[in-house]
Amino acid sequence: VSVPPGPSCIFCRIVAGTADASFVYEDDDLVAFMDINPVTRGHLLVVPRAHLPGLADVPPQVGGRMFVVGRELAAALRAGPMTTQGINLFLADGAAAMQSVFHAHLHVIPRFRGDGFRFVRDHWSGSPDRTELEADAAAVRAALGGAEA
C-alpha cells in the first residue's frame, strides 16, 4: 500500500502547501494540523515534513520530536477552550493497524466523557498465562537483538 512521496500523498501535498490544512504548529522537521475527519473536536495530526511511510522509516530523532510536539499539543488542548478532559496519542503503523495515509503521523485526540470513541476488542479475548507471556517476551527480546536496554 506504499505511496511515493509527492502529489499522490496528501500529507506531502499539505507540507508542500498544495493542499489545504489548518496548521497549529510548524518547525524544520514537523508540521501539525487539524485532522480533516476528526474523531472528536480538536483532533490533531503531527506529521514529519519528510515522506516516511511507516514507523520503521521514522528516524529516532524525528520520532522523539513527534512525541514531544504531541505532548505540547495535548497540553494546549487541555488548556484551551474545548474543555478537553483527556488525550489519546495514537499512531497507526500498517493497514492492519488502521493506517490509512502511508506517511507516518501521530494522532493527538482530545477526549471528552461520553464522546463515544472506543477501542473495542471483540475478536480476540485471550488471557495468556505467565508461561505464554514469558515466551512472547523472550521472542520480542530475541527480535530486539542487541537493542535491549
**Site map for Zn ion, 62-91, x if CB under 5 A?**
------------------------------
Q: What are phi and psi of 18, to 5 degrees?
A: -100, 0
Number of residues that bind Zn ion (CB under 5 A): 6
Q: Can you tell me the distance from the alpha carbon of 92 to that of 99, in angstroms, rounded to the nearest whole number?
A: 5
Of the candidate spans 20-28, 68-76, 102-110, 117-125, the one that interacts with Zn ion by CB under 5 A turns out to be 102-110
Residue 21 interacts with Zn ion (CB under 5 A)? no
Active site residues: 105
Q: Which three cell numbers stand for residue 54?
A: 511507516
Task: Report the distance separating Cα 75 and Cα 80, nearest Å.
Answer: 8
Residue 105 touches Zn ion, criterion: CB under 5 A? no
Q: Does 12 bind Zn ion (CB under 5 A)?
A: yes
Nearer to Zn ion by Cβ, of 34 and 76: the residue is 34
CB burial of 16-37 (b: ≥16 within 10 Å; e: otherwise) equals eeeeebeebeeeeebbbbebee
For binding to Zn ion (CB under 5 A), which residues are involved? 5, 9, 11-12, 51, 103
